[in-house]
Structure 1
Amino acid sequence: MKIEMICTGEEVLSGQIIDTNAAWAANALMNQGIEMQQRITVGDRLDDLIAVFQERSHHADIILVNGGLGPTSDDMSSEAMALAKGEPLVECTPWRLRLEEWFTRNGRVMPVSNLKQAMLPESAVMVDNPVGTACGFRVKLNQAWLFFTPGVPFEFKRMVNEQFIPFVQSQTNEHVEVSVRKLLTLGYGESSLADKLTQIDLPEGVTVGYRSFMPYIEIKLFARGEEAIGSLANIVALVKTLLGNVIVAEERSSLAQVVHERLLEGAQSLSVAESCTGGLITSGLVAFPGSSAYLHHGLVTYSNESKVAVLDVNPQTLDDHGAVSIATVEEMAEGARTLIGSDYGLATSGIAGPDGGSDQKPVGTVAIGLATSKGVYSQMLKFPARSRELVRQLSSAVAYDMLRRALNDEPVIVDYASYARFAK
């Protein structure tokens, strides 16, 4: 069964907004063992919408259409679908009554424009939207069912989970089960990872994919069919053996998530002192609910004066070694940890660029320190200086990884092939 997706909207096509719905939907389907074959983005132009509905309906079995169900003039999905089928728009009375009840319940007068959302192609089957005013629907055109959903993410996700996925599962008994395992890596390039993994003789039905999203590269192991899925655990074990320390997480999208979960599980506390990362480490943790249970404070001690006044860094250390140094970052980490007695103190100080580097410490040079009750661990690395943001992201990722390893009682300092380490 071929499943495709059509994403609509000028703001999506032009890049004014990032199409998070499409990525979420593909992942939600994959989690159910359902693979999407193709995705197309089209703007809010009636002729283009009609053409893409007609063209893809000859190739796909089910098409998830997202967007264009609002009350304004640029919401054209219903009209375009009716024209593609050569049939009129008709009022869906149950949905008009739902709209009127919704506005009355919320003490509002329904604008006339909202009545447009109750107008569906004549042959459409209404699909419930339990949390919004845009009526979903599905229509059969040529060989495909086109399944229409609103673009509002909250509404879209509810409808995919509660309406679309069950519909897909009901349409065939011939569906090939798909399973995927995801391994997050740090410190190796995509080509280097691929070279190592060519040593594995993959069984039929198992394939390897790569997704680069800095600072990580994610390895995806796909298994299609019952026999291939049965072999997946052994393949994952082989990959982990080959790559060793390169793998920093499984089935997680970031090291921040891993650290967050580990700190919660262990009921341990953390304080962070950041210079070049400028709050990025702290922000990554605060993004997860419950971080207040372990995060004591995140300090952006950017100037030398603040390092001395807030973290008790010795002025002589700064004079002798500079702000970007092992000695300074160790004192920063310990100062952050001891301020209110945290279990761990994490600190960064570096040259993110584009200016400020020297022959001895070029742009991309970053010192990272981790203070624990057992001692202080530190390293100074040279990251690729392609952009200021990349240096900050890589610095944060390595800092998280050092903390993750300490939490797991693993060696804190390991080699990252892509990042050169300075001698202490």
Structure 2
Amino acid sequence: MKLEMICTGEEVLSGQIIDTNAAWVANELMSLGIEMQQRTTVGDRLDDLVTVFQERSKHADVILVNGGLGPTSDDMSALAMAVAKGEALVENVQWREHLVDWFTKSGRVMAKSNLKQAMLPESAVMVDNPVGTACGFRVKLNNAWLFFTPGVPFELKHMFTEQFVPFITQEFGLADNTQLHKLLTIGYGESALADMLTELSLPDGVELGYRSSMPHIEIKIFARGDKAIRALPEVTKAVKQCLGTAVVAENKATLAEEIHGRLFQSGFSLSVAESCTGGMITSQLIAFAGSSSYLHHGLVTYSNESKVKVLGVSPQILDDHGAVSIATVEAMADGARKILDSDFALATSGIAGPDGGTDDKPVGTVAIALATKQGVYSQMVKLPRRSRQLVRSLSAAVAYDMLRRALLDEAVIVDYPSIGRFDK
């Protein structure tokens, strides 16, 4: 099966928004053992849409089309498909009735423009959308089935899982049984990770892949076929042995997800005091439901005054060592932990840039501390030539990893080859 994707929308084409839908779809397909052959991005111009539908349908077996199903004049996917097939748009009575009922039950007045979402190409097969006002549809053109989905991520994901995957399974069947295991790493470049795995011998049907999503690099161990799947646990074990401390999580998208999983309903509590990370550590945790079971508070103590008055950092420490120092960040972590007697507390203070650095403490210098009831662990990392955002996200990742290692009763401070560290 040759599968392609067409992503529509001027805002996607021009880079005004990042096409997270395409990345999500590709990742989900890979987990099913299906590799996307090609992805095309096209704007909202009718002629361009018609051309790309006609052209790509000659080469693919199935094409997932995303976007352009809304009620406004620039949503042209249905019209373009009708023109490409040389047929009229006709009202789908079932979806019109669904729209009327949906708005009635919601206590809202339906705008006339919403009726446009019930207009489909004459030969289209309607595809239900249980969570939105835009139905999907599928149409056969030349060699391909074109399967149209809404651009709203939540709606796309429902339709992909509940409608698209069953359709391609029934129509084309899936490849051999597959299984995917993901290892999350920090502190190593992609080439360094590849070098560490050079001598590893992989059985037939097992492949390695790399995905950079800073501050992480994800290693995908993909097994195709029952024999390869049976070998996957041993291969995973061998990969982890080669990579050592580089691996920080398994089958998790981020270290924040890993920390949440370890703290949720664990009985442990966490407090956070942030300066340069500006709430990033805390916000990434509260993105997960249930974080209130362990998160006591997250404080953004950006100024020296707040460090003194909120966290109890001694003014003398700030005078003697400065805000970006081991002494200060240890006092911040200890102060944050003692407010509610938390089991753990993380603290960061650094120079994220692009300005503010000195010869002694250049941009990218960040102090990170973990306070526990038994003591405080700290380190000063060097992150030169990184963007402000990357300095902050790398600092948050290192802080998370210190906590993760403490939870596992491992050495809290380890070397990361791509992250420099100052000696105390």
Q: TM-score range by the shorter chain?
A: over 0.9
Q: Is the 8 A contact 2:33 2:174 kept in 1?
A: no
The separation in 1 between residues aligned to 2:420 and 2:202, in whole angstroms, is: 33
- Which residue is equivalent to 1:82? 82
In the other structure, the counterpart of 1:186 is: 186
**Which ranges in structure 1 are unaligned for 5 or more consecutive residues?**
none
Q: Which residue of 1 aligns with 2:407?
A: 407
> In 2, distance between residues paired with 1:42 and 1:247?
38
The aligned runs of 1:340-379 (5 Å cut-off) are: 340-379=340-379
**1:271 matched to which residue of 2?**
271
Shift in Å at residue 33 of structure 1?
3.6
* CA shift in 2, pair 1:105/1:290, >3 Å: closer
**Any idea what the Cα deviations from partners look like across 1:298-343, whole Å, max 9, x if unmatched?**
1122222222222222222223222222122111111111112110
Q: Which residue of 2 aligns with 1:258?
A: 258
Distance 1:33 1:113, change over 3 A: same
1:239 aligns with 2:236: no
**TM-score, normalisation: structure 1:** 0.95
Q: Measure, in 1, the Cα distance between the counterparts of 2:343 and 2:202.
A: 44
Cα distance, 1:174 vs. partner? 5.9
Matching residue of 1:313 = 313
Q: Distance in 2 between matches of 1:89 and 1:182?
A: 45
* Residue 101, structure 1, aligned to residue 101, structure 2: yes
User: Using a 3 Å threshold, how does the CA distance of structure 1 residues 296 and 103 change in structure 2: closer, same or farther?
Assistant: closer
Question: Match for 1:390: what amino acid?
Answer: L
| CA distance, structure 2, for counterparts of residue 203 and residue 40 of structure 1 | 34
TM-aligned CA deviation for residue 353 of structure 1: 1.7
**In terms of mean alpha carbon deviation, does 233-242 or 350-359 score higher?**
350-359
In the aligned structure 2, how far is the partner of 1:107 from the partner of 1:334?
A: 52
Distance in 2, matches of 1:195 and 1:83, equals 52
Provide the secondary structure at the position in 2 that maps to 1:175. coil
Pairing 1:110-129 to 2, within 5 Å after superposition: 110-129=110-129
Look up the SS of the partner of 1:171 in the other structure.
helix
1:224 alignment partner in structure 2: 224
| Displacement after TM superposition at 1:195 (Å) | 1.0
Q: Residues 401 and 100 (structure 1 numbering): CA distance in 2 closer, same or farther, change over 3 Å? A: same
- 1:198-251 Cα distance to aligned partner (Å, 9 max, x none): 111223332222111211111112223333333222221111001110011111
> 362-371 vs 35-44, which deviates more?
35-44
Measured against aligned partners, the alpha-carbon deviations of 1:153-205 in whole angstroms (never above 9, x if no partner) come to 22222211111111111113462333222111111111111111111122333
Alignment of 1:63-82 (within 5 A): 63-82=63-82
Return the alpha-carbon distance in structure 2 between the equivalents of residues 152 and 325 of structure 1. 45
The answer as to whether partners of 2:72 and 2:113 remain within 8 angstroms in 1 is yes
Asked whether the equivalents of residues 58 and 144 of structure 1 are also in contact (C-alpha less than 8 Å), the reply is yes
Instruction: Report the equivalent of 2:19.
Output: 19
- Range that drifts further, 103-112 or 141-150: 103-112
**Aligned residues between the structures:** 424
> RMSD of the TM alignment (CA)?
1.8
Alignment of 1:26-37 (within 5 A): 26-37=26-37
- Residues 256-302 of structure 1 deviation map (CA, whole Å, 9 limit, x = unaligned): 11111211142111111112212111111122121112111111222
- Structure 2 CA distance for aligned equivalents of residues 402 and 284 of structure 1: 16
Q: CA deviation at 1:108?
A: 4.4
Distance 1:280 1:104, change over 3 A: closer
* Distance in 2 separating the partners of 1:316 and 1:336: 18
TM-score where L is the length of structure 2: 0.95
Kept in 1, the 8 Å contact 2:263–2:269? The answer is: yes
Distance 1:105 1:239, change over 3 A: same
Q: Percent identity?
A: 72
Q: 1:418 to 1:174 in 2, by over 3 A?
A: closer
1:318-337 alignment to 2 at 5 Å? Answer: 318-337=318-337
What is aligned with 1:132? 132
Report the Cα distance in structure 2 between the residues aligned to 1:212 and 1:304, rounded to whole angstroms: 36
Asked if the contact 2:33–2:175 (Cα under 8 Å) also holds between the matched residues in 1, the reply is no
1:203 matches 2:203: yes
CA–CA separation in structure 2 for the residues paired with 1:251 and 1:47: 43
